[in-house]
Structure 1
Amino acid sequence: MEETLKQYLNEYYRGFTGFELEHIEDFTKCLKEYKKFNLEEYEISHLDKDMLFPPGDIKIGVRDARTTKGSNIYKDILMDIAIFTMKMGGENVKRILETILLENSQASTTTQDGVTADKEKGAITNKEEGATTNKEEEEQKKYEFLRHYLLLFYKDFKGFEIHHLDDFTNAMRKNSRVNLAEYESTYMERDLIFQPGEMGEGIINGKRKKGNDIIKDNLMDIATFTMKMAADTTKKLLEIVFETLQKRLREKNAAVEELQKTKNELNSTRAKCNEYKEKIDNLEKEKKMAEERIKKLENDVLNLKNSEKNTSTNKKP
Protein backbone atom coordinates (compact mmCIF):
# COMPACT_ATOMS: atom_id res chain seq x y z
CA MET A 1 0.00 0.00 0.00
CA GLU A 2 2.78 2.46 0.92
CA GLU A 3 4.51 2.01 -2.44
CA THR A 4 1.23 2.65 -4.24
CA LEU A 5 0.64 5.77 -2.14
CA LYS A 6 4.16 6.99 -2.94
CA GLN A 7 3.50 6.46 -6.64
CA TYR A 8 0.37 8.62 -6.56
CA LEU A 9 1.88 11.24 -4.23
CA ASN A 10 4.79 11.61 -6.64
CA GLU A 11 2.18 12.19 -9.32
CA TYR A 12 0.50 14.75 -7.06
CA TYR A 13 3.74 16.69 -6.54
CA ARG A 14 4.57 16.54 -10.26
CA GLY A 15 1.49 18.68 -10.79
CA PHE A 16 3.33 21.53 -9.02
CA THR A 17 6.41 21.36 -11.25
CA GLY A 18 7.71 24.86 -11.99
CA PHE A 19 5.52 26.44 -9.31
CA GLU A 20 8.05 28.96 -7.99
CA LEU A 21 9.34 30.00 -11.41
CA GLU A 22 5.85 30.38 -12.88
CA HIS A 23 3.86 31.86 -10.00
CA ILE A 24 5.81 33.22 -7.01
CA GLU A 25 7.02 36.32 -8.84
CA ASP A 26 3.42 37.33 -9.66
CA PHE A 27 2.40 37.28 -5.99
CA THR A 28 5.70 38.85 -4.89
CA LYS A 29 5.31 41.78 -7.27
CA CYS A 30 1.86 42.66 -5.92
CA LEU A 31 3.03 42.41 -2.33
CA LYS A 32 6.09 44.57 -2.93
CA GLU A 33 3.98 47.15 -4.74
CA TYR A 34 1.33 46.89 -2.03
CA LYS A 35 -1.36 46.08 -4.60
CA LYS A 36 -4.39 43.83 -4.37
CA PHE A 37 -3.90 40.49 -6.13
CA ASN A 38 -6.72 39.52 -8.53
CA LEU A 39 -6.92 35.85 -7.61
CA GLU A 40 -10.11 35.25 -9.58
CA GLU A 41 -8.53 36.26 -12.90
CA TYR A 42 -5.30 34.47 -12.02
CA GLU A 43 -7.11 31.19 -11.42
CA ILE A 44 -9.03 31.51 -14.67
CA SER A 45 -5.73 32.04 -16.51
CA HIS A 46 -3.77 29.21 -14.89
CA LEU A 47 -6.22 26.56 -13.65
CA ASP A 48 -9.08 24.48 -14.95
CA LYS A 49 -12.56 25.32 -13.74
CA ASP A 50 -13.04 23.87 -10.26
CA MET A 51 -15.89 21.38 -9.81
CA LEU A 52 -16.97 22.88 -6.50
CA PHE A 53 -15.96 26.49 -5.99
CA PRO A 54 -15.79 29.68 -8.07
CA PRO A 55 -12.44 31.25 -9.00
CA GLY A 56 -10.77 33.11 -6.15
CA ASP A 57 -12.23 31.32 -3.15
CA ILE A 58 -13.03 28.06 -1.36
CA LYS A 59 -16.31 28.76 0.38
CA ILE A 60 -16.19 26.29 3.26
CA GLY A 61 -14.47 28.30 5.96
CA VAL A 62 -10.92 28.23 4.59
CA ARG A 63 -10.74 32.00 4.89
CA ASP A 64 -11.56 33.70 8.18
CA ALA A 65 -15.04 35.21 7.75
CA ARG A 66 -14.22 37.78 10.45
CA THR A 67 -11.38 39.25 8.39
CA THR A 68 -12.16 42.13 6.06
CA LYS A 69 -10.25 41.59 2.84
CA GLY A 70 -8.14 44.60 1.94
CA SER A 71 -7.35 45.60 5.51
CA ASN A 72 -4.01 43.75 5.54
CA ILE A 73 -2.25 43.28 2.20
CA TYR A 74 0.26 40.82 3.69
CA LYS A 75 -2.47 38.54 4.98
CA ASP A 76 -4.50 38.90 1.80
CA ILE A 77 -1.73 37.87 -0.58
CA LEU A 78 -0.38 35.12 1.68
CA MET A 79 -3.91 33.74 1.84
CA ASP A 80 -4.34 34.21 -1.92
CA ILE A 81 -1.29 32.10 -2.71
CA ALA A 82 -2.47 29.47 -0.22
CA ILE A 83 -5.90 29.33 -1.91
CA PHE A 84 -4.27 29.15 -5.34
CA THR A 85 -2.04 26.30 -4.14
CA MET A 86 -5.06 24.44 -2.72
CA LYS A 87 -6.93 24.78 -6.01
CA MET A 88 -3.90 23.56 -7.97
CA GLY A 89 -3.66 20.67 -5.52
CA GLY A 90 -7.35 19.97 -6.15
CA GLU A 91 -6.60 19.70 -9.87
CA ASN A 92 -3.79 17.25 -9.18
CA VAL A 93 -6.01 15.14 -6.91
CA LYS A 94 -8.80 15.13 -9.50
CA ARG A 95 -6.41 13.79 -12.15
CA ILE A 96 -5.18 11.09 -9.76
CA LEU A 97 -8.74 10.02 -8.92
CA GLU A 98 -9.60 9.87 -12.62
CA THR A 99 -6.53 7.67 -13.19
CA ILE A 100 -7.53 5.37 -10.32
CA LEU A 101 -11.08 5.10 -11.67
CA LEU A 102 -9.76 4.22 -15.12
CA GLU A 103 -7.30 1.65 -13.77
CA ASN A 104 -9.98 0.14 -11.54
CA SER A 105 -12.42 -0.02 -14.45
CA GLN A 106 -9.87 -1.73 -16.69
CA ALA A 107 -8.88 -4.18 -13.96
CA SER A 108 -12.46 -5.16 -13.16
CA THR A 109 -13.74 -5.32 -16.75
CA THR A 110 -14.31 -9.00 -17.48
CA THR A 111 -15.85 -10.42 -20.63
CA GLN A 112 -17.78 -13.61 -19.90
CA ASP A 113 -20.33 -15.69 -21.80
CA GLY A 114 -23.41 -13.55 -22.36
CA VAL A 115 -21.74 -10.34 -21.12
CA THR A 116 -19.98 -7.87 -23.40
CA ALA A 117 -18.05 -4.82 -22.23
CA ASP A 118 -18.65 -2.19 -24.89
CA LYS A 119 -16.20 0.64 -24.24
CA GLU A 120 -16.93 2.56 -27.42
CA LYS A 121 -20.62 2.83 -26.68
CA GLY A 122 -19.98 3.31 -22.99
CA ALA A 123 -22.41 0.56 -22.07
CA ILE A 124 -22.36 -2.91 -20.59
CA THR A 125 -24.84 -5.12 -22.38
CA ASN A 126 -26.12 -8.40 -21.02
CA LYS A 127 -27.23 -10.33 -24.08
CA GLU A 128 -29.43 -12.69 -22.11
CA GLU A 129 -31.31 -10.04 -20.16
CA GLY A 130 -30.93 -7.11 -22.55
CA ALA A 131 -29.88 -4.79 -19.70
CA THR A 132 -27.77 -1.72 -20.55
CA THR A 133 -26.07 0.96 -18.50
CA ASN A 134 -25.63 4.00 -20.70
CA LYS A 135 -22.65 6.30 -20.86
CA GLU A 136 -24.49 9.23 -19.27
CA GLU A 137 -25.14 7.22 -16.10
CA GLU A 138 -21.50 6.17 -15.90
CA GLU A 139 -20.36 9.77 -16.35
CA GLN A 140 -22.76 10.91 -13.62
CA LYS A 141 -21.38 8.28 -11.23
CA LYS A 142 -17.86 9.42 -12.05
CA TYR A 143 -18.81 13.06 -11.48
CA GLU A 144 -20.40 12.27 -8.10
CA PHE A 145 -17.36 10.20 -7.09
CA LEU A 146 -14.92 13.00 -7.96
CA ARG A 147 -17.10 15.67 -6.36
CA HIS A 148 -17.42 13.68 -3.13
CA TYR A 149 -13.68 13.19 -2.66
CA LEU A 150 -12.72 16.68 -3.80
CA LEU A 151 -15.11 18.11 -1.23
CA LEU A 152 -13.41 15.99 1.45
CA PHE A 153 -10.07 17.27 0.16
CA TYR A 154 -11.06 20.93 0.48
CA LYS A 155 -12.82 20.42 3.82
CA ASP A 156 -9.49 19.51 5.37
CA PHE A 157 -8.40 23.14 4.88
CA LYS A 158 -11.28 24.51 6.93
CA GLY A 159 -9.94 27.08 9.38
CA PHE A 160 -6.65 27.42 7.49
CA GLU A 161 -6.50 31.22 7.81
CA ILE A 162 -7.40 31.17 11.51
CA HIS A 163 -4.86 28.50 12.41
CA HIS A 164 -1.90 29.30 10.16
CA LEU A 165 -1.94 32.67 8.43
CA ASP A 166 -0.77 34.79 11.38
CA ASP A 167 2.33 32.62 11.79
CA PHE A 168 3.53 33.38 8.27
CA THR A 169 2.33 37.01 8.35
CA ASN A 170 4.18 37.74 11.59
CA ALA A 171 7.34 36.09 10.27
CA MET A 172 7.22 38.28 7.16
CA ARG A 173 6.67 41.44 9.21
CA LYS A 174 9.66 40.58 11.37
CA ASN A 175 11.75 40.00 8.27
CA SER A 176 12.17 36.37 9.29
CA ARG A 177 10.76 32.97 8.32
CA VAL A 178 8.71 30.22 9.91
CA ASN A 179 10.80 27.16 10.81
CA LEU A 180 9.04 25.05 8.22
CA ALA A 181 10.48 21.72 9.34
CA GLU A 182 9.19 22.17 12.91
CA TYR A 183 5.94 23.71 11.70
CA GLU A 184 5.18 20.76 9.43
CA SER A 185 5.96 18.27 12.19
CA THR A 186 3.45 20.06 14.43
CA TYR A 187 0.54 20.15 12.02
CA MET A 188 0.81 17.09 9.77
CA GLU A 189 2.09 13.56 9.48
CA ARG A 190 5.51 12.97 7.97
CA ASP A 191 5.44 13.34 4.20
CA LEU A 192 6.12 10.15 2.24
CA ILE A 193 8.11 11.97 -0.44
CA PHE A 194 9.97 14.95 1.07
CA GLN A 195 11.69 15.57 4.39
CA PRO A 196 10.15 18.17 6.75
CA GLY A 197 10.82 21.68 5.50
CA GLU A 198 11.99 20.48 2.09
CA MET A 199 10.43 20.58 -1.36
CA GLY A 200 11.50 19.17 -4.71
CA GLU A 201 13.77 21.33 -6.85
CA GLY A 202 11.41 20.95 -9.78
CA ILE A 203 8.81 22.78 -7.70
CA ILE A 204 11.04 25.38 -6.04
CA ASN A 205 13.69 27.32 -7.90
CA GLY A 206 16.81 25.49 -6.78
CA LYS A 207 19.05 28.16 -8.31
CA ARG A 208 17.60 30.99 -6.20
CA LYS A 209 19.51 31.59 -3.00
CA LYS A 210 17.27 31.69 0.06
CA GLY A 211 17.48 34.69 2.38
CA ASN A 212 17.99 37.35 -0.29
CA ASP A 213 14.26 38.03 -0.70
CA ILE A 214 12.27 37.46 2.48
CA ILE A 215 8.95 38.10 0.72
CA LYS A 216 9.59 35.39 -1.88
CA ASP A 217 10.85 33.07 0.84
CA ASN A 218 7.69 33.47 2.93
CA LEU A 219 5.37 33.15 -0.06
CA MET A 220 7.13 29.95 -1.10
CA ASP A 221 7.10 28.74 2.51
CA ILE A 222 3.33 29.06 2.87
CA ALA A 223 2.87 27.51 -0.58
CA THR A 224 5.14 24.60 0.41
CA PHE A 225 3.28 24.12 3.68
CA THR A 226 -0.04 24.16 1.80
CA MET A 227 1.22 21.63 -0.76
CA LYS A 228 2.37 19.30 1.99
CA MET A 229 -0.80 19.75 4.00
CA ALA A 230 -2.73 18.92 0.83
CA ALA A 231 -0.46 15.90 0.25
CA ASP A 232 -1.23 14.69 3.77
CA THR A 233 -4.95 15.02 3.02
CA THR A 234 -4.47 13.33 -0.37
CA LYS A 235 -2.75 10.36 1.29
CA LYS A 236 -5.68 9.92 3.68
CA LEU A 237 -8.18 10.24 0.83
CA LEU A 238 -6.32 7.68 -1.27
CA GLU A 239 -6.36 5.24 1.64
CA ILE A 240 -10.15 5.67 1.85
CA VAL A 241 -10.52 5.36 -1.93
CA PHE A 242 -8.40 2.19 -2.07
CA GLU A 243 -10.34 0.65 0.80
CA THR A 244 -13.67 1.58 -0.83
CA LEU A 245 -12.65 0.25 -4.24
CA GLN A 246 -11.25 -2.94 -2.71
CA LYS A 247 -14.54 -3.46 -0.89
CA ARG A 248 -16.48 -2.91 -4.12
CA LEU A 249 -14.14 -5.28 -5.95
CA ARG A 250 -14.66 -7.96 -3.31
CA GLU A 251 -18.42 -7.51 -3.58
CA LYS A 252 -18.19 -7.63 -7.37
CA ASN A 253 -16.04 -10.77 -7.26
CA ALA A 254 -18.52 -12.40 -4.89
CA ALA A 255 -21.35 -11.47 -7.25
CA VAL A 256 -19.37 -12.84 -10.21
CA GLU A 257 -18.71 -16.08 -8.33
CA GLU A 258 -22.41 -16.38 -7.51
CA LEU A 259 -23.27 -15.64 -11.12
CA GLN A 260 -20.75 -18.24 -12.28
CA LYS A 261 -22.26 -20.76 -9.89
CA THR A 262 -25.73 -20.03 -11.24
CA LYS A 263 -24.40 -20.22 -14.76
CA ASN A 264 -22.78 -23.61 -14.07
CA GLU A 265 -26.04 -24.89 -12.61
CA LEU A 266 -27.89 -23.56 -15.64
CA ASN A 267 -25.40 -25.21 -17.98
CA SER A 268 -25.77 -28.47 -16.07
CA THR A 269 -29.56 -28.27 -16.32
CA ARG A 270 -29.27 -27.34 -19.98
CA ALA A 271 -27.00 -30.34 -20.59
CA LYS A 272 -29.52 -32.65 -18.92
CA CYS A 273 -32.31 -31.09 -20.97
CA ASN A 274 -30.30 -31.70 -24.13
CA GLU A 275 -29.68 -35.28 -23.01
CA TYR A 276 -33.39 -35.82 -22.36
CA LYS A 277 -34.26 -34.14 -25.65
CA GLU A 278 -31.89 -36.46 -27.47
CA LYS A 279 -33.52 -39.46 -25.78
CA ILE A 280 -36.97 -38.14 -26.68
CA ASP A 281 -35.86 -37.59 -30.27
CA ASN A 282 -34.54 -41.16 -30.42
CA LEU A 283 -37.79 -42.49 -28.96
CA GLU A 284 -39.74 -40.44 -31.48
CA LYS A 285 -37.65 -41.95 -34.27
CA GLU A 286 -38.17 -45.46 -32.87
CA LYS A 287 -41.89 -44.77 -32.55
CA LYS A 288 -42.04 -43.58 -36.14
CA MET A 289 -40.13 -46.64 -37.32
CA ALA A 290 -42.45 -48.89 -35.30
CA GLU A 291 -45.51 -47.18 -36.76
CA GLU A 292 -44.10 -47.66 -40.24
CA ARG A 293 -43.47 -51.35 -39.51
CA ILE A 294 -47.00 -51.75 -38.15
CA LYS A 295 -48.43 -50.03 -41.19
CA LYS A 296 -46.37 -52.29 -43.44
CA LEU A 297 -47.56 -55.36 -41.53
CA GLU A 298 -51.15 -54.18 -41.80
CA ASN A 299 -50.68 -53.76 -45.54
CA ASP A 300 -49.10 -57.20 -45.76
CA VAL A 301 -52.03 -58.73 -43.85
CA LEU A 302 -54.51 -56.92 -46.07
CA ASN A 303 -52.69 -58.07 -49.17
CA LEU A 304 -52.60 -61.62 -47.83
CA LYS A 305 -56.35 -61.59 -47.16
CA ASN A 306 -57.05 -60.27 -50.63
CA SER A 307 -54.79 -62.93 -52.10
CA GLU A 308 -56.57 -65.71 -50.17
CA LYS A 309 -59.94 -64.33 -51.23
CA ASN A 310 -58.93 -64.31 -54.87
CA THR A 311 -57.59 -67.86 -54.60
CA SER A 312 -60.82 -69.07 -53.03
CA THR A 313 -62.90 -67.45 -55.76
CA ASN A 314 -60.85 -69.02 -58.52
CA LYS A 315 -61.31 -72.57 -57.08
CA LYS A 316 -65.14 -72.45 -57.25
CA PRO A 317 -66.71 -74.35 -60.29
Structure 2
Amino acid sequence: MTTIGELGEDAILALFVPRLPESDATLLGPGDDAAVLSIDGDLVVSSDVLIEGRHFRTDWSTAADIGWRAAMQNLVDIDAMGAVPTALQVTLAAPSDTEVDWVLGFADGLREACEPHGVGVVGGDLSGASEIAISVTVLGETHGLEVVTRGAAAPGDVVAVSGPLGAAVAGFALLTAGVGLDLDAVDLFRRPRPVIGAGLEAALRGATAMMDVSDGLLRDASRIARASDVGIEIESAAVPVHPAAQEAADALGVDPLPWALTGGEDHCLLATFPSGTLLPDGWTVVGDVVDGYQGIRVDGAVPEALGWDHFGA
Protein backbone atom coordinates (compact mmCIF):
# COMPACT_ATOMS: atom_id res chain seq x y z
CA MET A 1 0.00 0.00 0.00
CA THR A 2 1.22 3.51 -0.83
CA THR A 3 2.03 5.75 2.14
CA ILE A 4 1.67 9.51 2.39
CA GLY A 5 5.46 9.81 2.71
CA GLU A 6 5.90 8.09 -0.63
CA LEU A 7 3.21 10.13 -2.38
CA GLY A 8 4.01 13.64 -1.09
CA GLU A 9 1.83 16.54 0.06
CA ASP A 10 0.66 17.98 -3.25
CA ALA A 11 -0.31 14.58 -4.65
CA ILE A 12 -2.16 13.70 -1.45
CA LEU A 13 -4.12 16.94 -1.54
CA ALA A 14 -5.01 16.33 -5.18
CA LEU A 15 -6.68 13.09 -4.07
CA PHE A 16 -8.00 14.35 -0.72
CA VAL A 17 -9.70 17.64 -1.61
CA PRO A 18 -12.15 16.32 -4.26
CA ARG A 19 -13.57 13.92 -1.67
CA LEU A 20 -14.52 16.74 0.74
CA PRO A 21 -18.08 18.09 1.08
CA GLU A 22 -18.98 21.49 -0.32
CA SER A 23 -21.24 24.20 1.09
CA ASP A 24 -23.46 26.71 -0.67
CA ALA A 25 -21.92 29.35 1.61
CA THR A 26 -18.47 28.81 0.09
CA LEU A 27 -17.28 31.60 -2.16
CA LEU A 28 -13.70 30.29 -2.27
CA GLY A 29 -12.80 26.85 -1.00
CA PRO A 30 -9.64 24.76 -0.57
CA GLY A 31 -6.56 25.62 -2.60
CA ASP A 32 -5.81 29.23 -1.68
CA ASP A 33 -4.26 30.86 1.39
CA ALA A 34 -7.67 31.17 3.03
CA ALA A 35 -11.30 30.31 2.35
CA VAL A 36 -14.03 32.88 1.77
CA LEU A 37 -17.59 32.33 3.01
CA SER A 38 -20.84 34.20 2.80
CA ILE A 39 -22.68 34.21 6.13
CA ASP A 40 -26.09 35.34 7.37
CA GLY A 41 -26.03 37.00 10.79
CA ASP A 42 -23.27 36.64 13.35
CA LEU A 43 -20.35 34.24 12.94
CA VAL A 44 -20.17 31.40 15.49
CA VAL A 45 -16.85 29.54 15.85
CA SER A 46 -15.68 26.49 17.80
CA SER A 47 -12.75 24.09 17.61
CA ASP A 48 -11.73 20.66 18.83
CA VAL A 49 -8.77 18.30 18.71
CA LEU A 50 -8.47 14.50 18.53
CA ILE A 51 -5.23 12.72 19.37
CA GLU A 52 -4.51 9.10 18.43
CA GLY A 53 -4.42 6.88 21.48
CA ARG A 54 -6.34 9.36 23.64
CA HIS A 55 -9.47 10.24 21.66
CA PHE A 56 -9.49 7.38 19.13
CA ARG A 57 -7.77 4.11 18.30
CA THR A 58 -7.19 3.00 14.72
CA ASP A 59 -7.68 -0.65 15.73
CA TRP A 60 -11.17 0.18 17.02
CA SER A 61 -12.33 2.64 14.35
CA THR A 62 -11.88 2.98 10.61
CA ALA A 63 -10.51 6.16 9.10
CA ALA A 64 -14.05 7.02 7.95
CA ASP A 65 -15.35 6.50 11.50
CA ILE A 66 -12.73 8.92 12.81
CA GLY A 67 -13.58 11.48 10.13
CA TRP A 68 -17.27 11.17 11.03
CA ARG A 69 -16.54 11.68 14.73
CA ALA A 70 -14.24 14.64 14.07
CA ALA A 71 -16.96 16.37 12.07
CA MET A 72 -19.98 15.47 14.18
CA GLN A 73 -18.62 16.55 17.55
CA ASN A 74 -17.89 19.96 16.04
CA LEU A 75 -21.18 20.38 14.18
CA VAL A 76 -23.07 19.80 17.42
CA ASP A 77 -21.10 22.57 19.17
CA ILE A 78 -22.59 25.09 16.74
CA ASP A 79 -26.04 23.54 17.11
CA ALA A 80 -25.71 23.84 20.90
CA MET A 81 -25.53 27.63 20.47
CA GLY A 82 -28.81 27.63 18.54
CA ALA A 83 -26.90 28.43 15.35
CA VAL A 84 -26.51 26.69 11.99
CA PRO A 85 -23.19 25.00 11.07
CA THR A 86 -21.78 26.14 7.74
CA ALA A 87 -18.21 24.96 7.22
CA LEU A 88 -15.22 23.14 8.71
CA GLN A 89 -11.49 23.80 8.59
CA VAL A 90 -9.63 20.51 9.18
CA THR A 91 -5.96 19.99 10.02
CA LEU A 92 -4.55 16.47 9.78
CA ALA A 93 -1.08 15.59 11.08
CA ALA A 94 0.12 12.03 10.54
CA PRO A 95 3.28 9.88 10.38
CA SER A 96 4.83 9.53 6.93
CA ASP A 97 4.11 5.79 6.92
CA THR A 98 0.34 6.37 7.16
CA GLU A 99 -1.37 4.74 4.19
CA VAL A 100 -2.88 7.04 1.60
CA ASP A 101 -6.08 4.99 1.73
CA TRP A 102 -6.40 5.88 5.42
CA VAL A 103 -6.26 9.59 4.63
CA LEU A 104 -8.83 9.21 1.84
CA GLY A 105 -11.09 7.19 4.15
CA PHE A 106 -10.84 10.01 6.69
CA ALA A 107 -12.03 12.45 4.01
CA ASP A 108 -14.93 10.12 3.20
CA GLY A 109 -16.01 10.14 6.84
CA LEU A 110 -15.97 13.94 6.91
CA ARG A 111 -18.14 13.99 3.81
CA GLU A 112 -20.60 11.40 5.12
CA ALA A 113 -21.13 13.42 8.31
CA CYS A 114 -21.29 16.87 6.71
CA GLU A 115 -23.14 16.51 3.41
CA PRO A 116 -26.60 15.80 4.89
CA HIS A 117 -26.37 19.14 6.72
CA GLY A 118 -25.06 21.22 3.83
CA VAL A 119 -21.73 21.77 5.58
CA GLY A 120 -18.52 22.05 3.55
CA VAL A 121 -14.87 21.47 4.39
CA VAL A 122 -13.33 24.67 3.09
CA GLY A 123 -9.67 24.22 3.96
CA GLY A 124 -7.16 23.33 6.63
CA ASP A 125 -3.65 21.92 6.69
CA LEU A 126 -1.71 18.69 6.26
CA SER A 127 1.43 17.99 8.28
CA GLY A 128 3.79 15.25 9.36
CA ALA A 129 3.74 14.07 12.99
CA SER A 130 4.77 11.19 15.23
CA GLU A 131 1.11 10.21 15.72
CA ILE A 132 -2.18 11.07 14.07
CA ALA A 133 -3.60 14.36 15.34
CA ILE A 134 -6.72 16.05 14.02
CA SER A 135 -7.82 19.63 14.64
CA VAL A 136 -11.19 20.91 13.46
CA THR A 137 -12.53 24.45 13.47
CA VAL A 138 -16.24 24.74 12.75
CA LEU A 139 -17.98 27.89 11.56
CA GLY A 140 -21.67 28.65 11.89
CA GLU A 141 -24.13 31.49 11.39
CA THR A 142 -27.05 32.80 13.44
CA HIS A 143 -29.44 33.93 10.67
CA GLY A 144 -30.27 36.92 12.87
CA LEU A 145 -31.20 34.89 15.98
CA GLU A 146 -29.68 35.37 19.43
CA VAL A 147 -27.23 32.65 20.42
CA VAL A 148 -28.05 30.51 23.45
CA THR A 149 -25.18 30.41 25.95
CA ARG A 150 -24.61 28.42 29.15
CA GLY A 151 -25.13 31.46 31.33
CA ALA A 152 -28.83 32.34 31.41
CA ALA A 153 -30.58 29.42 33.16
CA ALA A 154 -32.96 30.75 35.80
CA PRO A 155 -34.59 29.26 38.91
CA GLY A 156 -37.90 27.73 37.93
CA ASP A 157 -36.64 26.52 34.54
CA VAL A 158 -36.83 22.85 33.68
CA VAL A 159 -33.74 20.90 32.59
CA ALA A 160 -34.07 18.65 29.53
CA VAL A 161 -31.98 16.50 27.21
CA SER A 162 -32.52 16.06 23.48
CA GLY A 163 -32.16 12.27 23.40
CA PRO A 164 -31.31 9.12 25.35
CA LEU A 165 -27.85 8.86 26.88
CA GLY A 166 -25.15 6.33 27.63
CA ALA A 167 -24.70 4.59 24.27
CA ALA A 168 -21.21 5.88 23.43
CA VAL A 169 -19.62 4.99 26.76
CA ALA A 170 -21.42 1.63 26.62
CA GLY A 171 -19.74 0.98 23.28
CA PHE A 172 -16.40 1.93 24.80
CA ALA A 173 -17.01 -0.53 27.63
CA LEU A 174 -17.78 -3.32 25.15
CA LEU A 175 -14.67 -2.60 23.11
CA THR A 176 -12.54 -2.50 26.26
CA ALA A 177 -13.97 -5.83 27.42
CA GLY A 178 -13.67 -7.34 23.95
CA VAL A 179 -17.25 -8.62 23.99
CA GLY A 180 -20.50 -7.70 22.25
CA LEU A 181 -18.69 -6.07 19.35
CA ASP A 182 -21.72 -6.58 17.12
CA LEU A 183 -24.00 -4.59 19.42
CA ASP A 184 -25.38 -1.17 18.43
CA ALA A 185 -23.51 0.64 21.19
CA VAL A 186 -20.17 -0.08 19.52
CA ASP A 187 -21.32 1.59 16.31
CA LEU A 188 -22.68 4.57 18.28
CA PHE A 189 -19.31 4.94 20.02
CA ARG A 190 -17.56 4.95 16.65
CA ARG A 191 -20.13 7.21 14.98
CA PRO A 192 -22.25 9.28 17.40
CA ARG A 193 -25.54 10.36 15.84
CA PRO A 194 -26.84 13.56 17.46
CA VAL A 195 -29.76 15.28 15.77
CA ILE A 196 -28.20 18.34 14.16
CA GLY A 197 -30.86 21.06 14.24
CA ALA A 198 -32.19 20.11 17.67
CA GLY A 199 -30.40 23.13 19.13
CA LEU A 200 -31.87 25.56 16.64
CA GLU A 201 -35.35 24.22 17.37
CA ALA A 202 -34.72 24.48 21.11
CA ALA A 203 -33.62 28.08 20.68
CA LEU A 204 -36.78 28.85 18.74
CA ARG A 205 -38.79 27.31 21.61
CA GLY A 206 -37.16 29.64 24.13
CA ALA A 207 -34.25 27.66 25.60
CA THR A 208 -32.52 29.82 28.20
CA ALA A 209 -29.21 27.92 28.39
CA MET A 210 -27.80 25.05 26.35
CA MET A 211 -24.71 22.95 25.67
CA ASP A 212 -23.55 19.72 24.10
CA VAL A 213 -23.28 16.69 26.41
CA SER A 214 -19.73 15.68 25.58
CA ASP A 215 -18.26 14.97 29.03
CA GLY A 216 -21.31 13.51 30.77
CA LEU A 217 -24.73 14.82 31.78
CA LEU A 218 -23.72 15.66 35.34
CA ARG A 219 -20.44 17.38 34.51
CA ASP A 220 -22.00 19.41 31.72
CA ALA A 221 -25.05 20.29 33.86
CA SER A 222 -22.63 21.52 36.53
CA ARG A 223 -21.08 23.80 33.90
CA ILE A 224 -24.46 25.37 33.13
CA ALA A 225 -25.07 25.71 36.88
CA ARG A 226 -21.73 27.47 37.38
CA ALA A 227 -22.12 29.75 34.35
CA SER A 228 -25.67 30.69 35.37
CA ASP A 229 -24.98 30.89 39.13
CA VAL A 230 -27.81 28.45 39.92
CA GLY A 231 -28.37 24.98 41.25
CA ILE A 232 -29.54 22.10 39.08
CA GLU A 233 -31.49 19.16 40.50
CA ILE A 234 -31.41 15.99 38.37
CA GLU A 235 -33.91 13.19 38.95
CA SER A 236 -32.08 10.00 38.02
CA ALA A 237 -35.27 8.05 37.29
CA ALA A 238 -36.17 10.60 34.62
CA VAL A 239 -32.87 10.34 32.71
CA PRO A 240 -33.48 8.44 29.45
CA VAL A 241 -31.12 5.48 29.02
CA HIS A 242 -30.37 4.65 25.39
CA PRO A 243 -31.66 1.18 24.38
CA ALA A 244 -28.18 0.36 23.06
CA ALA A 245 -26.73 1.15 26.49
CA GLN A 246 -29.28 -1.13 28.14
CA GLU A 247 -28.40 -3.91 25.69
CA ALA A 248 -24.69 -3.47 26.42
CA ALA A 249 -25.33 -3.38 30.17
CA ASP A 250 -27.23 -6.68 29.91
CA ALA A 251 -24.26 -8.21 28.06
CA LEU A 252 -21.81 -7.00 30.71
CA GLY A 253 -24.05 -7.55 33.73
CA VAL A 254 -23.98 -3.94 34.93
CA ASP A 255 -26.41 -1.08 35.59
CA PRO A 256 -26.53 1.34 32.61
CA LEU A 257 -27.74 4.35 34.62
CA PRO A 258 -24.23 5.52 35.60
CA TRP A 259 -23.36 5.55 31.90
CA ALA A 260 -26.33 7.81 31.18
CA LEU A 261 -25.41 10.13 34.06
CA THR A 262 -21.65 10.41 33.62
CA GLY A 263 -20.76 8.94 30.22
CA GLY A 264 -19.96 11.42 27.49
CA GLU A 265 -19.69 11.57 23.70
CA ASP A 266 -23.33 10.86 22.86
CA HIS A 267 -23.40 14.55 21.87
CA CYS A 268 -27.06 15.03 22.69
CA LEU A 269 -27.97 18.50 23.91
CA LEU A 270 -28.68 19.66 27.45
CA ALA A 271 -30.86 22.74 27.82
CA THR A 272 -33.00 24.68 30.25
CA PHE A 273 -36.44 26.02 29.36
CA PRO A 274 -38.97 28.20 31.15
CA SER A 275 -41.48 26.05 33.03
CA GLY A 276 -44.50 25.26 30.87
CA THR A 277 -42.61 25.44 27.56
CA LEU A 278 -43.79 22.93 24.98
CA LEU A 279 -40.53 21.13 24.33
CA PRO A 280 -39.48 19.98 20.84
CA ASP A 281 -40.08 16.34 19.92
CA GLY A 282 -37.49 13.99 21.39
CA TRP A 283 -36.65 16.13 24.42
CA THR A 284 -37.06 14.73 27.96
CA VAL A 285 -37.28 16.73 31.20
CA VAL A 286 -34.71 15.38 33.69
CA GLY A 287 -34.70 18.02 36.41
CA ASP A 288 -35.12 21.60 37.55
CA VAL A 289 -33.14 24.78 38.01
CA VAL A 290 -33.21 26.01 41.61
CA ASP A 291 -31.74 28.77 43.73
CA GLY A 292 -30.09 28.51 47.13
CA TYR A 293 -26.85 26.94 45.93
CA GLN A 294 -24.63 26.71 42.86
CA GLY A 295 -23.90 23.26 41.49
CA ILE A 296 -25.47 19.91 40.76
CA ARG A 297 -27.53 17.48 42.85
CA VAL A 298 -28.83 14.05 41.87
CA ASP A 299 -31.91 12.87 43.77
CA GLY A 300 -31.09 15.53 46.35
CA ALA A 301 -27.49 14.49 46.96
CA VAL A 302 -24.10 15.71 45.74
CA PRO A 303 -22.90 13.07 43.21
CA GLU A 304 -19.62 11.26 43.80
CA ALA A 305 -18.70 11.31 40.10
CA LEU A 306 -19.52 13.86 37.42
CA GLY A 307 -18.01 12.49 34.22
CA TRP A 308 -14.99 12.86 31.96
CA ASP A 309 -12.17 15.22 32.95
CA HIS A 310 -9.59 15.79 30.19
CA PHE A 311 -6.85 16.35 32.77
CA GLY A 312 -8.04 13.87 35.39
CA ALA A 313 -6.10 10.82 36.45
Higher fraction of helix? 1
TM-score (norm 2): 0.20
Tell which structure's C-alpha radius of gyration is larger.
Answer: 1
Q: Give the structure with the larger strand fraction.
A: 2
